[in-house]
Structure 1
Amino acid sequence: MRIKKIFFLVITLLISFINFSQNRMNSLSNEKSLYLKQHSTNPVDWMPWNQNVLRLASNENKLLIISIGYSSCHWCHVMEEETFSNEDAAKIMNSNFINIKVDREERPDIDELYMKSLVLMTGSGGWPMNIIALPDGSPIWGGTYLPKENWINVLTQINELFTNRYDDVLDYSRKLKEGLNPKTIIKNDFKESELLTQIKDASNVAYESLDKENGGLRSSQKFHLPSMIDFFLKSGYHFKEKKYLDFVDLTLKNIAYGGINDHIEGGFHRYTVDSIWHIPHFEKMLYDNAQMLSLYSKAYKRSNKEVFKNQIDNIFNFLESNLTNQDGLIFSSISAVTEIGSEKIEGDYYVWDKQKIRDLLSKDFDLFQDYFNINGKGLWEKNKYVLKRENDDEYFTKKFNISQKKLETKISQSINILRTSRKNREKPITDKKILTSWNALTIIGLSDAYKSTGDKKYIEKAKNIIEAIEKSLLNDDLILKRSLSISNEGIFFLEDYSYLISAYINLYQSTFDYTYIDKAEDLTKKTLLLFKADNSSFLKFSSDQSLLFSDNLFVNQDAVMPSANSVMCKNLFLLSHYTGNRNLSETGKSMLTEISNEMINNSLDYMNWMNVALDYNDSFYEVVISGKKSFEMAQKITEMYLPNILIAASKTDSDKYLLKNRYIKGDNLIYVCVNNTCKFPVNDVKKALELITTKDE
């Protein structure tokens, strides 16, 4: 009897221990970030980034492990499951290190600074980004995903170096920090009047790096790179380079046709692991979809291609159905992996089994199979297919001897059947984080969609988002939060301010409600105060860099999103025209002067800067429209691709800078102006377009 009691007690204690291990929570359990919460049950003693944690590392003279990622990152999930959930790895981490987890989307400053360090140390970057640093945050080692055994080996070696060769470690850290110091600015060695020629030459150099067969950048993986595509769209117009415009059309068509596009529910995945836009990493990011919405809208203006218009609607429907919160704000991302029980499967929600499609579509299977390559071309792995188009509709109308309308009906019906079937699957996790800058990009995309199509659903959604931002993220003192979930509300980011200013300006260009220009101007004044740097024309990345190991964080390169400084440079240009405040454009010119050498010599890294430089250095027109029909006339002009104009319009008399003394009762007049010096007004859109598109001799 006694033995039975002892046995029962042992079993009870064992079960209790297992439950304790499973339910053990670290310091991340109280965080709002989904990514941080996903690591809250790790046996690692993770802590969020803050002053107290850095002070603890200093007091205990322990190395820091700074692990940075985001919730929809596939390899972040893999490392969390394989390595950070492992007791052996956790034991070493907890004994010898202070462990910090960072959500890169909430703290882009930390991410940017350590990514620069990682690239300097290894030549490349990625996520999860794992940095080992001195107690003051200075990095000494960096890497991305590592399996458990490799990770443990790294930790053991680095800790031994820190213990036994402390001076060598300090010396390496010092040299690394020197390498991270901002480069000495080399003043441009050409005249301002020569910059346009330099841009044209740099465009041709950049063009040689493009994939002329598949579109996009020539590489083994394909990212959307909207800033790059947008530049070639604009420079193709400015320089009358057909090859640039052909490249844009090719790229956007192949993205629309490729597996990077979710043909069932809409929305684009982040990138493909091949060079033909087929097999994606399956996460969907708001910033990609917002920018692609804008890009397809501009491309549709220029070409009127139906495939581009379809993508505008598909992205909108994806945002509306999958990422919109009840308050109107837009969630940040959808994960690449689906969690089915304890198993995490990448892409499971998106891929298809051929027999399953055959069973669902029955008599329409043959057409659908051919249309979306449910064959060797569309095969991914394990008999799973990623839908991918190759041929235009005309090919199928001829092959199957059906009309265009019937083809569209059959494909649409088949997609609806598959969409309904997919609803029975376990969905990937949506990160419901609300990020100001990404929502601002969405406003811009929706506003551009309205301007290209005239469909009011786009501008109504854009206005809903801006109202929600003003209610929840922006206060009366123009303090703008990064997100609704960020723990440290005392730090602000240039990206949020510059993108929101751009959104306000874009909304004015769609609605001609001048309060948006007033708000943009007020927010610009606040931005210049918050982020002004003492020894640079550029604005600082963040308002407070005191906890970073370097307080000189400027980010000027354009990546998957345009740099905040390049966006701000464009804002200053447009606002100077709308308000007459030439100091704004002079500030922007100073930024361009400071960046111009780097921009010309490394153009692929500065595509949005190149785009903005065209505005400052080529023909640019202010189109001012007054009269009762001014908005209708403006809409006709905005539906055309004219990247070198801005429009101001009013139905009544106005004392605003561009509109003042333009109104004549009973007339509808269009003024085409340069720096508010206008040609004789016309009352016909066609005549106005002739003034815009015909350069003075």
Structure 2
Amino acid sequence: MSVRFTRVSARPHRSVPKSPGQTDRSRWSRACRPARSTMCVCRLPMPKARSLRRRGGGLLLAGLSALVMPLATVADEGEASALADSASAYLRQHADNPIDWQTWQPSVLDRAIDDNRLIFLSIGYASCHWCHVMEKESFSDADVGAVLDADFISIKVDREQQPDVDRWYSRVVQTLNGETGWPITVIMLPDRRPVLAANYLGRDELLTALDRLAAQWREAPEQLDSRAGLLATLLEPASLPEPPAAAPDWPELMSQAESQMRARADTVFGGFGQAEKFPDETELAFLLDRYKLDPSPELEGLLTRQLDALMYGGLADPVFGGVFRYTTDREMTRPHFEKMLYNQALTAMLFIDAADLLGQARYRDFADDIVDFVNGALAMEDGRFAAAVDADHDGVEGGYYRWPASEGALLPTGVSAVEAGPGQVYLLGTSADPDWTGRLANRRDAPPRVIDHPVTAWNGLWLLALLATDATDQARALGDVLWETSVSDGEVERMPGQPGFLDDYAVLSVAYWRLYLATLEPRWKSRAQVLDEVLLEQFIRDGEVRYAREDDSLPYPDSLAADTEQPAPLAFLAESFGYHFRDVRFANAQTRLLATANIRQGQAASFASMLRGQLEVPGKRAFMASGHGRVGLRPGEGDNRWWLDLDLEPGWHVNAATVNEPHLIPTTLTSQQGPLAPEWPAGEELLTSFSEVPLNVWSGAVRLPVRADVGRALQVVLRVQACNDRVCLPPERLVLRAARR
């Protein structure tokens, strides 16, 4: 079957003007790139302490106890077989298969029970290479279709659209086979107890499994029923580790995590582990934060090696920009060619932070190149951003990124070439030569297709990346577009027609809180508060945080505190609740969720995002006065000029640098880097009922010039006490850090 790669839309979108900074991408489309042919699966990074990855698509027959997935994850949409009308590009790709595909919905699952038929479940996503291969080799085969239609209820699920279903069955496959990836293939009894779990299955292997199980269900159903209980203890909620009785020992867990990451670091080729290499942005961000607090030369060397390996190895596309999802080899030379929006966001934030911390301009250039790539390749007409670029092109995995071997002869600094077949090479790394990049890019006409799924959680990550790269105007525009298109009456859609999950709400809430911190524009705070109310009231039930708003009857199969390809949803929830300084409901909820996060001993590295939230790392902005004010540090003109910005809500003030009563606490600014010369502005007199002497205070917006001969970066300690006409808050010690580009 030939695949014609055109632009794929989730469904028509309301036209919204493009955000500032978005560029035309007429040369672009995208592809989900596969693993090497010996690894018939698009990989999922496993928890770092276990790091189990399974090669090939072999299957394993086993079972569960009577654990079932939620029924109400997607609303009924009429006839379940109408994949052609789905908002999911992945489901529409299978609309012409000779299979009576259904979607995951209650009526379909009930019909399996009524008809006493086995369930065949296939999960994938639109940019996944091996999903393409299985669609072509197995699901387009008439014999496969005939067997499935005769003996099975066949269900298709898009992991981007229904991550709750995907995560549950990913855990099933991982438990039975040792690791997982996509496509996911599961065969279940009518009551949804699995008896087969696999990834990619070729036509013959699939037909053998289908025929055997169908015959066994007709002739000896008791055997399958018995088999379905074999691994119940591994999957039942009761078998999961109990939360610790005491609150986590955060310093100890942080130390464990760093030690585990150092042990896993590949000092020869870069990356972590000895097999496939992922960007591992959350781990590297954690190590960067640790370095901020303890800048040891050893940790700096580790970070530099890892970042350079990512930037100059097979994860980076030197011609069109952006980063690939992972490489299939330890040497980091064989990309898995799909480009995911969340990887672009996390990698851009990582390299911006590294540029400011380590003083490497090339890291900022790399982050800026990622922003240019996303604006040019993934920007959608309605102002949101698409989920991915497909790995395949013209039916060839990574075909868009193969070049004649002659192009590998004269390469610019930072770019290398590896063999990609007879007379062809892949180009890896990062080029600082725009003429070379432009010459090659102009030789391509139709780019890989773009998968236009505007996943809200991933767009929220991209909004955070825009803020990190100082693209504040574009972040504002995206924030408004997301509120207009993805939120209605406080309810978030993950993508058109699909209710949002925990990460969609929590990531977007954090993005709005940080927009408010950056701009002080009230709408961002109001929007974040609306989302947080939904999170508090509808995602926390009986003291447990749930991934889905509906009563899913199962706890989330993997810890919500653990990182996967993306930061843990619980880390965003904890951050968003932490911004409610004066609401005891959120404070209590945050305390409970941190105390019961169940960060497992020996696997601390898998919880890097949760641990980062407990590190007191200085930033360039911070809330003060219990959220009634904000303080920021920024570079000014000249090598030794800086600005300290204080912004207080009406009715609030802080004591100026000089006070009129000895018992009052003045504002001070110090730095361990050397003496500072702040140009303190004059205060204003404030008469109070408790003092005959007027107070000397600052209120409103205060802009404080500071001279400091410290070089490129400045870290300061601000001591301040905020008051209103009724109460004085406890004195605050705020640490801020800013760097020049």
Q: TM-score range by the shorter chain?
A: 0.7 to 0.9
For residue 612 of structure 1, what is the amino acid of its counterpart?
Answer: G
Structure 1 residue 439 and structure 2 residue 444: aligned?
Answer: no
Secondary structure of 2:495's counterpart equals coil
- Which of 454, 475, 482 aligns to 2:494? It is 482
CA contact (8 A) 2:624 2:631 kept: no
TM-score (norm 1): 0.78
The question of whether the paired residues in 1 share the 8 Å contact of 2:620 and 2:633 is answered with: no
Determine which of 406, 411, 427 is the counterpart of 2:447.
Answer: 427
CA shift at 1:28, angstroms?
1.3
Separation (CA, whole Å) in 2 of partners of 1:671 and 1:156: 77
Instruction: Determine which of 410, 424, 434 is the counterpart of 1:366.
Output: 410
Q: Distance in 2 between matches of 1:297 and 1:171?
A: 55
Instruction: Quote the Cα distance in structure 2 between the aligned partners of 1:336 and 1:295.
Output: 24
Q: What is the Cα-based RMSD across aligned positions, in Å?
A: 3.4
CA distance in 1, matches of 2:231, 2:707: 60
Secondary structure of the 2:614 match is helix
Q: Deviations over 1:97-156 (max 9, x none)?
A: 000001100000000111111111111111000111122322221100011100111112
Matched residue, 1:351 = 402
Q: How does 1:379-394 map to 2 (within 5 A)?
A: 379-389=419-429
What is the aligned length? Answer: 592
| CA drift at 1:587 | 2.4
Pair 1:543 & 2:549 matched: yes
Where 1:56 maps in the other structure, the secondary structure is helix
Aligned pair partner of 2:122 in 67, 87, 92: 67
Q: 1:127 to 1:625 in 2, by over 3 A?
A: closer
Q: Quick check: 1:654 aligned with 2:650?
A: yes
Greater share of strand residues, 1 or 2?
2
What is the Cα deviation at residue 178 of structure 1?
4.0
Aligned ranges 1:233-252 → 2 under 5 Å: 233-252=288-307
Separation in structure 2 between the aligned mates of residue 122 and residue 92 of structure 1, nearest angstrom: 25
Unaligned ranges ≥5, structure 1: 1-24, 359-364, 394-407, 451-457, 638-646, 674-679
1:585 & 1:294 partners in 2: Cα distance? 28
Q: Deviations over 1:155-212 (max 9, x none)?
A: 12222332333233223334544422234554547776x5313422442133211212
Inter-CA distance 131–478: structure 2 relative to 1 (3 Å threshold): same
Distance verdict in 2 for CA 1:596–1:96, change over 3 Å: closer
C-alpha distance 670-653 of structure 1, shift in aligned 2 (>3 A): farther
TM-score by length of 2: 0.74
Distance of 1:632 and 1:82 partners within structure 2:
59
In the alignment, the residues of structure 2 paired with residue 672 and residue 554 of structure 1 have an alpha-carbon distance, to the nearest angstrom, of 45
Q: Is 2:603 the counterpart of 1:602?
A: yes
Secondary structure (helix, strand or coil) at the match of 2:396 reads: strand
**Corresponding position: 1:412 with 2:454:** no
Distance in 1 of aligned mates of 2:585 and 2:295: 32
Tell me the secondary structure at the aligned position of residue 349 of structure 1: helix
* Residue 636 (str. 1) matches residue 619 (str. 2): no
Number of the residue aligned with 1:332: 387
1:588 corresponds to: 590
8 Å contact from structure 1 (residues 236, 242) kept in 2: no
Alignment of 1:127-526 (within 5 A): 127-182=182-237, 183=239, 185-188=241-244, 194-339=249-394, 344-355=395-406, 357=407, 366=410, 368=412, 372-374=415-417, 378-389=418-429, 411-422=433-444, 424=445, 426-450=446-470, 458-475=471-488, 477-484=489-496, 486=497, 489=498, 491-526=499-534
Indicate if the aligned counterparts of 2:327 and 2:334 stay in contact, CA closer than 8 A: yes
Residues 350 and 587 from structure 1, CA distance in 2 versus in 1: closer, same or farther, beyond 3 angstroms?
Answer: same
Give the letter aligned to residue 534 of structure 2. Answer: K
Map of 1:691 onto structure 2: 717
Distance 1:588 1:215, change over 3 A: farther
Mapped contact 2:339–2:388 kept (Cα < 8 A): yes
Deviation at 1:568, TM superposition (A): 0.9
Q: Distance in 2 between matches of 1:672 and 1:98?
A: 68
Q: Is the 8 A contact 1:625 1:648 kept in 2?
A: no
In terms of mean alpha carbon deviation, does 277-286 or 171-180 score higher?
Answer: 171-180
Structure 1 position 265, deviation (Å):
1.4
Q: Indicate the percent of aligned positions where both proteins have the same amino acid.
A: 23
* Structure 1 runs of 4+ with >4 Å offset: 189-192, 551-554, 618-626, 630-633, 647-653, 663-667, 669-673, 680-688, 692-696
1:48 aligns with 2:103: yes
Which of structures 1 and 2 has the larger relative contact order (alpha carbons within 8 angstroms, sep 6+)?
2
1:555 Cα offset (Å):
3.8
Q: Deviation at 1:371?
A: 5.4
The verdict on how the C-alpha distance between 1:262 and 1:555 changes in structure 2, with shifts beyond 3 A counting, is same
Secondary structure of the corresponding residue to residue 352 of structure 1: strand
Distance in 2 separating the partners of 1:620 and 1:468? 27
Q: Give the equivalent residue in structure 1 for 2:681.
A: none
Quote the Cα distance in structure 2 between the aligned partners of 1:383 and 1:213. Answer: 28
How far apart in 2 are the matches of 1:552 and 1:521?
Answer: 25
Aligned to 2:738: none
The residue type equivalent to 2:650 in the other structure is: S
- 2:185 touches 2:198 (CA, 8 Å); kept in 1? yes
